[in-house]
Chains A and B, each alone.
Chain A
Amino acid sequence: MSRNVSTIRKVRRGLVLPALVLLGWWGIFAADLADPRIVASISDVWRYGAQMVGSGELWGDIGASLGRNLLGFAIGVAAGLVLAVLLSLSAWARLAVAPTIDALKNVSAFAWVPLIAIWFGLGEGSRLFFIAFATFFPVYFNAMEGIGGVPRDWLELGRVYGFSRRQAVTRIILPAALPSIFTGLYVGLIMSWMVTLGVEYMLTATRGVGHLLLDGRDNFRMDQVILGVLVVGLIGFALHAIADAVERRVLKWRGSSAAAQVL
């Protein structure tokens, strides 16, 4: 009971600042202090949002961004997990490959943009590549850490019961590493959403939330820009919530969540 009360209190206290921002936003328009070339009013944004939802255009943009985000994310996750499992099975491969990946992580994904754009063009393939690339690193590193941290005692259990290497991976190593793997998926999901917007700016897309934002700036449509920012925030929030719910379900045996540790 007391936990519930304090949770409500926390939520209430957390809502104070956003409420003040909204009030201030409303206030500067009510007092006629705002320059509409710099900022749009709440009612303008609302009206524009309603119109975009009504015409279906907004869903098109959101769909385009989310689609490329999730596809790139899936590719990055698959690559990160497969490589981590393979390297964990072979010390030789680990020594040969891991240092290069360690070094590569120091180069920001965006630093590769000009090179990749010249080699592979400004198409969807390049965009997906970057999203996958950005997802790969947190997924790979957290999986490596999780797999490396599997207690020897548990691996010994597998030896005692005659587990094959495959059985050891699927029945002990991966489940034991799952909390770390989830941390990686979580960070990867956040990164992939950030990079999705980034590549929509840099490798100009004709559809997507990034395009909505750029288009708004180019046409001095501040209502469009602010709507774009709100949509980006809401989608980020939704992705968090979904990842959190999935993790809670899968890691029920642990009784806590990586999301809570990351955030």
Chain B
Amino acid sequence: MATSLDIRGIAKDYAVDGNVLHVLTGINLSIEEGEFVSLVGASGCGKSTLLRLLVGLEKDFRGDIRLDGKCIAGPGLERGIVFQEARLLPWLNVEQNIATALLNAPIGEAEKRERIAHHIALVRLNGFEKALPRQLSGGMAQRVAIARALVNRPRVLLLDEPFGALDALTRSHLQDQLLEIWATEKITAIFVTHDVEEAVYLSDRVVVMAPRPGRIRRVIDIDLPRPRDRGDPDYARLRAHVLNELTSASEPAAVSA
């Protein structure tokens, strides 16, 4: 498969009270087309910052990010993003919220309507087209956010702890729905989470990051057949492996290594 997203030599610093804080350093990662990759790590490891760089929301960094060979400079409709909070505009209904993503899309009105309807069906919200955000549950709101992120038919779907604020049952339903969508849309997905279980269940590869400075500690292949069985011993073994990498990454001793 072809490389979709190529991340080379990324480094990003913040100046805090005159001290330089290395948020990210030496990040190299190639992601193939259609691949599902998770970024896991303790808070402060820069995983969300890395995702924001991929979205194009942070401009001040070193290294380069190429999508299909082209350098990323700012946000673009070929990348969809789902944030931790649904970020729906409360005065717009479900349909209108999804339509905001298409405001500047180079397609006609009929095509826009057709795509919105298609994506509402994709996240199974038929019948809620006219509902306002305050009438939706957290899980439904996040499904609207997913539909909004996909409606431009992006090449890459970026997700920043999208299920972090949901209850366990809703979360596991949405994980399965996301996998279904990922399979049908054949999209490249990059998923930030601090939940090892979630990362192993969803991903082809799990990137374990370490904090201070934020860097990649290990990339672990999850070569389990899909659909995955959470009770499978291989699954448990890989989960323990990722967890082990993650905990040793967080220990201060690991920094000097």
Contact = CB atoms under 8 A, between A and B. Distances in A.
A153 B55 CA distance: 14
Contact of B55 (A154, A160, A163, A164): A160
A interface, by DSSP: helix, strand, loop or mixed?
helix
Contacts of B83: 153
A167 interface: yes
A164 to B, nearest CB: 8
B132 A253 contact: yes
Interface of B: 55, 57, 75-77, 81, 83, 85, 87, 89-92, 100-101, 103-104, 132-134
A161 B103 contact: yes
Interface stretch (A137-145, A170-178, A194-202, A207-215): A170-178
A99 interface: no
A153 B57 CA distance: 11
A13 interface: no
Q: How large is the interface on A (under 10, 10 to 19, 20 to 34, 35 or more residues)?
A: 20 to 34
Interface string A226-253: 0000000000000000000000000101
B134 A171 contact: no
Q: Give the one of A159, A167, A172, A253 with max B CB within 10 A.
A: A253
Q: Which 3 A-B pairs have the closest CB atoms?
A: A253-B91, A162-B104, A160-B75
Given A160-B55, A178-B91, A153 B103 contact: no
Contacts of B55: 160
Contacts of B100: 157, 161, 171
Contact of A171 (B57, B77, B103): B103
B133 to A, nearest CB: 8
A156 interface: yes
B214 to A, nearest CB: 21
A157 B100 CA distance: 9
A255 interface: yes
Contacts of A251: 91
A186 B76 CA distance: 40
Contact of A160 (B81, B90, B91, B133): B81
Name which of B75, B76, B92, B134 has the most chain A CB atoms within 10 A of its CB: B75
